[in-house]
Every structure is written in C-alpha cells, then in structure tokens.
Amino acid sequence: MRVVLACYLMLCALHVTAQNKPTSIIYVIGDGMGMEYLTAYRHFQDDPTTAALESTWFDRYLVGTASTHPDDVTQVTDSAASATALAAGIKTYNGAIGVDSQGREVETLLERAKKRGYQTAMVATSQINHATPASFAAHIDSRQKYDEIADQYLERRYQGKPWVDILLGGGKQYFERDDRHLVDEFKALGYQYAGDFAGLDTLTRAPALALLADRGLPFAIDEPPADRLRVLTRKALELLEADKPFFLLVEASQIDWCGHANDIACAMREMADAEVALQAIEDYVGQHPQTLVVVTADHSTGGLTMGAEGEYVWRAEVVRGIKASANTLAAALVAQKPWYATWQSITGIELTNETKERFSRRLDEVHSAETEAVKNTAITALRAQVLAQIDRASATGWTTSGHTGGDVAVMALGAGAQAFAGQQDNTELARKLFAVIGE
C-alpha cells in the first residue's frame, strides 16, 4: 500500500507540474560518472585543513539511483543504448541512436519538447554529434556514423527548422567536410556561428551553433578554460528566452574518456568541471524556479577503486598535485631533456632510482624509434607506465578500460524534483520527464 501511495503522489506531482506553467527542463548527463567517481571526487575536493569531509554538489542533491543495462544479455551498456534509454524511455541495443531494438525510430524528450513549443538546446564537451547528444536528436542504427548524425541535425526538421535551436560543443571536422559544409548550411538557416571560445561572445541569440574543436574539447586538466562546461552552459542559458519553456541537455562528456584511459587526475578535473557547471545551473534555478534539473550518468567507466594492491588508503593529495593528463605528461617527458624535472613539476611524485631507470629506457625507445608506428607504440607504453606510477602513488585501482554495469546516481532539484527519488531504471527517468512535458 505504501508503494502504491508513493507512486500515486509522484504521478500527481508530475501532473500538477505539467498542468501549470510549462516547466523548463535541464537534463545533465555525466558520461561515465559512476558512484565511485562521486565518492572519489568528494575526497579529491576536500579541504585538508579542516576536520570535516566537505560535501559536494552531487551529495547535496542526491535523491536516488538508476539501473543502466541495455536490451540484451550483456548487462553492460554503451553510451548510445543508455542515452537512448534516457532520451526516449526505451531499452535498445548497444550502438543504437534513437532507435529501438528493431531499428525503429523512437520519439525523444527533445522532440516531444519541441512539439510542445519548447526551445531546445544541447551542450557537450565531446563532439556534439557523439553518442549521448545524438541519441536525443538523431535516429540511426550506429553511433559510429558521425557524418550522417551531423547531417541529420540539419536535415531533420520540425515546422521547417532543425529540431535543435542551440548546439554548443566540439565536432568541427564533421560539420566542415570536403563533401559538405554543414556550418554554411546552418548559417543559411539563420544560425549564428562560433568556431572558438572567443567567438562565443558573438552569439547573441538563438538559433546558434558553436563548434570549438575538431572532435572533443581538450581535457579540462590540460587546457583553459578549466570551467569550459560552465562557460557553455551559461551561454546556452543566456541564449534561451527566459519567458518560454526550454529543454536543455548538458553532457559532461569526458569523465568517460578519462575513465577509459584509467587517468584518475584527468577524471577528477572533469568532475570538477561538471560541478561548477551544476553550481551555475543551481544559480539559474534560484532565479527561475519553474525549472526542473535532473542529473545522472549513462553508466560507469573503468571500474575505479579507491585503494589498490591491498592498501587500505587513497591518497587524494597525490591526485590533486597532478597538473596534466597522461597524454600530455607523456608528450612533455618526450620533449624535455632531462625529463625528471618535468615529471616532478607536473606530478610532484618522487621516483625511486629503479623506476627512473625504467622511465629512461622507455624514453630511449621513443627517441630511437625508426618509424612513426614504432614511435607510437613506444609512446603508448610510456603512457601506460606514467599511469601505473600515478596509480601506485595514489593507491588508485581500475578493473577495465571499458564500462561497468552498476547502478548510477540520480540528483534532482527544482520544480518536481521529488518525483525522481528512489531506485529506478534509467528508462523511468525519461518517462517521468515526458510526463512533465505533457502529451
């Protein structure tokens, strides 16, 4: 009886929200942001000068969890299947973009919102036609068809206009191709365009398109602005008209990419990038209370553990001291002779003489490579050694370079946030948001 009553009250809350002034929706997806990332980030951002372990934005607005499995026997989802579940409320196969297991197109939240008169926007730190945003605005059998997805953003129309009013992220190489210049075609439809961060200031109205890198944006740890997701989110909110409802998708894309690389310092900086963007969103909701914010992840990545090799410790101070991703660090070690001063300046980690010798041998392999292929193989081995040393120093563990199948957190605030409490499947998040938008 309690469960029935709780479900009834939840549906009533959603119904009331839908019947009153239309509710704007901000849907935030931390790609790869599993539970263990939230825990590690809590310790990463902790002020070591105080006795208390400070809470994060994620802690303050945590309301529930969501399961993530795809529509097959694998139990472990990819970003496309999970994003389609979060966008359309249906299970599908890994790799599917906005289609069900039979390949049929399914309506997404963004599309429903557009039909109801909402403004629509998508922000990502990956290419804007990557799996997660694509699942909200395209319909195709494979996430790998990046050119075709970009084409769909332009060609698929509602009332003569593209479905998405504002597109901010990376992916320039897919929109400025030898076979087709989509940027010019967007401009012809009235879209303002920015090709770098400086150009964002020239965007003064919707529709707007910003493509700020050839593919994904640089990692937050490597290149300013470190708060790039906040910059893009604020720009989207600035371009959306406050007196009209909107649907805004925000993806913190590269938590996942750092997780695939098993790069803990990179991942924690991406979490920080997401948190400051969420703080900006919270500020917006404070001024625009008829806004609902739902935050979740599509899956977790890497099998991150705090503590490794039998050590009952996690040294957050080591992670905080690292100033570059493993990719950038390895490149710096190759470029600088002697290399050890560079290592210390970027990581702050002391190496034993034996470890220094192993690094020197790896660097000799890079410098003596006779072909580009051999050199790339040597650099890959060097990067792996860099990551292994960082993990050893910080007692960080990883079980995979891929995804894992655990539940993920759900955070919510604003109008109707209470409806997202408790354990639920990821498809339920979409169905509840469909109810907010209405038929």
Identify the DSSP state of 374. H
Report pLDDT for 14.
53
Question: CA dihedral defined by 340, 345, 351, 353, rounded to 10 degrees?
Answer: 20
Report pLDDT for 295.
99
Report pLDDT for 8.
44
Q: Give CA–CA dist 240/227, Å, rounded.
A: 20
Q: Residue 173: what residue type?
A: Q
Report pLDDT for 72.
86
Distances (CA, A) of 410 to 318, 319, 404: 29, 26, 17
Residue corresponding to tokens 């590269």: 254
CATH class of the structural domain 306-397? mainly alpha
Report pLDDT for 9.
47
Residue 53, φ and ψ in degrees, nearest 5: -95, 105
DSSP class per residue in 297-363 = -S-EES--EES-TT-----HHHHHT--S-HHHHHHHHHHSSS-HHHHHHHH-----HHHHHHHHHHH
Report pLDDT for 16.
45
Which member of 79, 82, 325, 394 is catalytic? 79
Report pLDDT for 347.
98
Report pLDDT for 298.
98
Residue corresponding to tokens 């401009």: 187
Q: What is the reported pTM?
A: 0.94
With CA atoms as reference, report the closest residue to 248 among 191, 197, 211, 293.
293
Report pLDDT for 20.
64
Q: Give CA–CA dist 69/128, Å, rounded.
A: 24
**Blockwise average pLDDT, block size 10, the chain, 439 residues:** 47 50 96 98 96 97 98 94 98 98 98 98 98 98 98 98 98 98 98 98 98 98 94 98 96 98 98 98 97 98 97 98 98 96 98 97 96 97 98 98 98 98 98 96
Give me the long-range contacts of 102-106 (CB less than 8 A, separation at least 24): 103/141, 105/139, 106/139
Report pLDDT for 174.
98
Q: Residue 121: what residue type?
A: A
Same fold, 2-304+405-437 and 306-397: no
Q: Give CA–CA dist 438/421, Å, rounded.
A: 20
Does the annotation count 401 as an active-site position?
no
Q: Give CA–CA dist 404/67, Å, rounded.
A: 11
Identify the DSSP state of 417. G
Q: Give CA–CA dist 377/384, Å, rounded.
A: 11
Report pLDDT for 438.
95
Q: Residue 58: what residue type?
A: F
Identify the DSSP state of 419. G
The full set of domain ranges for the chain reads: 2-304+405-437, 306-397
CATH class of the structural domain 2-304+405-437? alpha beta
